[in-house]
Structure 1
C-alpha cells in the first residue's frame, strides 16, 4: 500500500484522552515538533489549561470537550478539526480507563462503561477518521496494551477490552487495504507506563493500586505514536517487557497462566489504603499530569522499541557500545600484562 504521511510539522493531529498520561505526553511532544493538536477529553478545565500551556510555548492547539463513548460527541471532534484546521491528518485513539477487581465482583454498569470508552470510543473514532482520511490519506493510531495479547487477573475486563481493540484494529486495517485506501492503521501496545492510570481506575480492592514491573515513561509511548504518524507500521510494542510477555504467552501460554496466578494480583496492589476508589470511570477526576506516582524504577527508554522504530541508529549505537566494551576489556588485559611482578 502506498501511504503518504506528512511530516509532523505539517500535520493536524487529533488526540483523545489528551488531559493526562500518554495522551498529554503525545500532545506536548507533537506540538513541540510543530504539529497542530486537537485535544480531546471530558475535563474542560484541564483541556483549556493544557491548550493555553501549549500556546504559551509557541505551539498550536485547540480543544474539544467530548466523551468518546457517545458517537454523536465523536462527530463534534471532527467538526472542531474541520472548523479550526480544515480537517486532520492523524487520529490517535488513546482514551482509556481500567477497573481493578475480580470478574465476579464488578457490576455490569461499570463493565459496560469501561467498554464504552475503551472499545466503542475507539471504534467511533476510527470509523470517523477513516471516513475523513479515505481519499486524502493519513494515519489512524490506536492505543492498545500489552494485555491486548496477554490476560491478567484483577484487570480482566480491561484486558478483554484491549483484546477487542486489537481485533477491531486488525479488521479495519484489512478492509482499508482491500479498498486501497491510503490510510495507515497502527496498534500501539505499551507495557506498564508511569501515568495516572492506577489513580484513574475504578478500585474494587481494599488497597492502593499500582502497575507490575517493568514500567516505562509515557514519553516513550508518545515517541512511538508520533513515529507511527510519519511512518506506517502495523503494530508497535513499547517496552521489551511487553514483547517478552507476548512472546512467552504465544510459546508457553499454560506456563504464563501459572506464573500470573501466583504473582500478578499481588504485583498490582500496594500495601496502602486507597485514596479514590471511584477513579475517573464515570466522571473526570484529577487531570493535567503526564506522570503517575509509581514507586519503583521507571525505565526512561526501551531499547527494543527504539530498535523497531530506528533500526539503523540503534544498530550503530549497539556496535559502538560493543566496540567501547571490547576496547575497555582489551585495555584492561594490556594493563594487566604491563603490571607484571617487579
Structure 2
C-alpha cells in the first residue's frame, strides 16, 4: 500500500506529553491548521485548561489523562480517539523526561521509570497506533533526540532511552514497509530545546541544571512534527547543531567522547543550588508552559531544518552540514 498522508486540516492527531513543551507547541500549531486533536498527559488540570483555550479559539479537542508507561493507558488514548472522532490519522509519541546524574548514583528504580516513559511509552504508542492505521494509512512520529546518536555524561540513561527509541523506530519502519502497511514512520531528532525540560527532570547533581547550546525554540520542533504528519519522512533533525554532533560522532567518535569528557558536564550544570526540587519522573510536572527558563541565546528557527524538509535542496544542506563537521574536526586537530 502506497503511503499517502492527508492534509493537516483533514486529520485527527494524537499527541502524548501534550501539557507542556514540544507537545503543547505542536498542539497549538496543529489546532491553528485545523486538525482535530486528542491530547494526552498525566496532568489533568493542565489538559483541561488547554482544551478550553484551544476550543475557545475554534479547535476541536479531546483530552485524555494517561501515563504512557502503562499500556492500558495508551489503549485508553486510542479508544478515546476512536470513540470521539472515529479514529486517528497521526500518532505523535512525544512524552518524555530526563534524569541529571552520574549513572552509578541514580537508583535502579529511577532508571527503570525513565525507560517506562521514554522507551516503553513509544513502543506501546507505536504498536497500538500501527494496529489502527494498517489498511487505512497514516503517520507514526516518534520523538528521539540528537542523543539517539550521541551519548553525553550526566544524562547517560536518557541517552540510552533515546538510542533505544531510534533502534525500535527503525525496526518498526522496516517491518511496516515489508507488510505494505501504508504507514509513514518518522524519528524526530531535536537538539537542545527551550522547554521546561530541566524543570521536569530529576536532578541528582545538587546543582542547577541547564541545556548545552545551541538551543532552539520548541516551535521549531513542532513545525518538524507537523511536516512529518503530512509528508513521509524517515527522520528530521531539529537544529544544525544536532546534525553536526551526529556526523562528528559517526565519523570520529573519539572527538565526541573528548567533547563529552572535557565540556559536557560543565555545559549542563551551574554553580548554584537548583531552583526546582520537584521533578516529573514519578508524577507530572507543572503544565501549561511551552517555553523553559534557559537564560542563554535561543534560536527561533533552524534554516538547516527548514531546508532539510524540502527534497530539492536537502542534498545541498547535508553537504554544508558535512563540511561544517569536517571544519570542526580540522580545528580540533
- Tell me, yes or no, if structure 1 residue 308 matches structure 2 residue 308: yes
1:188 aligned counterpart, secondary structure: strand
2:237 aligned counterpart, secondary structure: strand
Match of 1:297 in 2: 297
The 10-residue stretch of structure 1 (150-159 or 267-276) with the greater mean CA deviation from structure 2: 267-276
Q: Distance in 2 between matches of 1:262 and 1:270?
A: 15
When residues 95 and 252 of structure 1 are mapped into structure 2, their CA distance, relative to the original with a 3 A threshold, is: same
TM-score (norm 1): 0.90
Structure 1 stretches of 4+ moved >4 Å:
311-315
Match of 1:274 in 2: 274
Match of 1:110 in 2: 110
| CA shift for structure 1 position 285 | 2.4
Match of 1:5 in 2: 5
Q: Distance in 2 between matches of 1:250 and 1:29?
A: 34
Q: Distance in 2 between matches of 1:200 and 1:256?
A: 27
Residue pair 1:102, 1:154 contacting (<8 A) in 2 also? yes
Match of 1:89 in 2: 89
| CA shift for structure 1 position 256 | 1.2
Match of 2:251 in 1: 251
- Tell me, yes or no, if structure 1 residue 174 matches structure 2 residue 168: no
| CA shift for structure 1 position 60 | 1.1
1:267 aligned counterpart, secondary structure: helix
Match of 1:284 in 2: 284
Match of 1:192 in 2: 192
Residue pair 1:145, 1:189 contacting (<8 A) in 2 also? yes
Match of 2:47 in 1: 47
Match of 2:320 in 1: none
| CA shift for structure 1 position 272 | 2.2
| CA shift for structure 1 position 4 | 1.2
1:91 aligned counterpart, secondary structure: strand
Q: Distance in 2 between matches of 1:156 and 1:164?
A: 12
Q: Distance in 1 between matches of 2:293 and 2:136?
A: 41
TM-align CA RMSD: 1.4
Q: Distance in 1 between matches of 2:277 and 2:150?
A: 25
| CA shift for structure 1 position 146 | 0.3
2:50 aligned counterpart, secondary structure: helix
Listed as ranges, the matches of 1:168-247 within 5 Å are 168-247=168-247
1:276 aligned counterpart, secondary structure: coil
Residue pair 1:204, 1:277 contacting (<8 A) in 2 also? no
| CA shift for structure 1 position 313 | 8.4
TM-score (norm 2): 0.93
| CA shift for structure 1 position 310 | 3.0
1:246 aligned counterpart, secondary structure: helix
For structure 1, the 5+ residue unaligned runs are: 316-342
1:157 aligned counterpart, secondary structure: helix
Q: Distance in 1 between matches of 2:243 and 2:278?
A: 31
Structure with the greater alpha carbon radius of gyration: 1
Q: Distance in 2 between matches of 1:292 and 1:153?
A: 22
1:67 aligned counterpart, secondary structure: coil
Residue pair 1:306, 1:314 contacting (<8 A) in 2 also? no
2:37 aligned counterpart, secondary structure: strand
Match of 2:326 in 1: none
| CA shift for structure 1 position 311 | 5.2
